[in-house]
Amino acid sequence: MSMLLVGMTIFMGVAIGWSIGANDAANSLGTAVGARVLKLSQAIVLISIMGMLGAYLEGGYVIKTIGKGIVNLDALNPQTATMIAMVSAFAGCAWVALATVWGMPISTSHSIVGAVAGAGLAFGVPVKWPILRDVFVCWLVTPVGAAVLSFIVYFVMKKVFYRVVPRRYARRVLSALIVLSGSYVAYTWGANDVANAVGVIAGANILTVKTSVLIGGLAIVLGIITYGYKVIQTVGSGIVFLVPLMAFSAQLASSINVHIYTLYGIPVSTSHSIVGAIVGVGLVRGMRVLNFAMLREILVCWVLTPFISGLVSFLVCKLVHLIW
């Protein structure tokens, strides 16, 4: 197997890791920035630490699904497996990077899963459609579940919080809760999304799972630091204005939602989860507080993501297969 091909595949894994950090950093503490509890620079540092920790400790669960669950890469010859891994990473990265420039919080999970399926079809290798169907159903349920959970959490918190916590301490307690829940979001995000960067690399047996996780985690941190601010601003204030209690409720609901899927090895969207959670807390205050124009743009990007990345992957695979 060509060392150039291996090197290009690892490079593309790093590139998609960067794009994940740039786009999905907002999922963790964008709400805290929007609620003016943390400064943007403080949020970026905290996201980097907790995201890396989640990737290293629990990132292996979803890596198995991305690397072997959609297309069984380790059952293919090394050349074909590496080619599929490289093109999938490229296609996923290209679409996520473009959405990041637009400031749209799309799903890197949808992007890489669509890209792997597209590459598999292009090379004529078996695609595990039943698993892909199950993942798709989870994608639909993710934002709905987060919205319902956040609605319940915020509704209850509104009723009991100020009865339990004296008002002179309320702001301080809420700030601590938001930072803690946001850190939990960052942890679960790192655990679930690192597979989107390096799952295909581990699946093709180019690197071990632990080495892949380490490289993917560092790439994600680089994306957070260099370009994560743009989508943080969209999530923090573009959908609905968040008061601190809303921010805490949204973050707690989103992190619980994603963590459950992570433990089962299901690659879901932290973007869908946090946006769904923000909508849920917004609904407690009434439909009028939601920015429906922004939600419409986000929804369109969500629907297009797996199809565009899959199509790009399919076409690039055909081209590379002819040239290589």
What per-residue confidence (pLDDT) applies to 156? 92
- pLDDT-derived band at 151 (thresholds 50, 70, 90) equals very high
- Answer with the residue of higher pLDDT: 292 or 193: 193
Q: Which pTM does this prediction carry? A: 0.79
pLDDT for the residue numbered 252: 92
d(CA 201, CA 164): 50
If pLDDT is split at 50, 70 and 90, which confidence band does 167 have? confident
Distance in angstroms (rounded) separating the CA atoms of residues 53 and 33: 21
Read off the pLDDT of residues 63-97 as tens digits, 9 standing for 90 and up: 877 877 788 887 788 888 888 888 888 888 787 77
Q: In this predicted structure, which of 8-12, 13-17, 282-286, 294-298 has the lowest mean pLDDT?
A: 294-298
DSSP per-residue codes, 73-107 = GGGS-HHHHHHHHHHHHHHHHHHHHHHHHHT----
164 vs 234, residue with greater confidence = 164
pLDDT at 150: 93
Q: What is the mean pLDDT of the chain?
A: 82
pLDDT at 233 over 70: no
Q: Tell me the residue type at 167.
A: R
Exposure string for 104-121, b = 16+ CB within 10 A, e = fewer: bbbbbbbbbbbbbbbbbb
pLDDT above 90 for 153: yes
Q: pLDDT band for position 38 (50/70/90)?
A: confident
Q: How confident is the model at residue 148, as a pLDDT? A: 94
Q: Give the list of residues 6+ apart from residue 226 with CB closer than 8 angstroms, or none.
A: 18, 22
Q: By percentage, how much of the chain surpasses pLDDT 70?
A: 87
pLDDT-derived band at 227, boundaries 50, 70, 90: confident
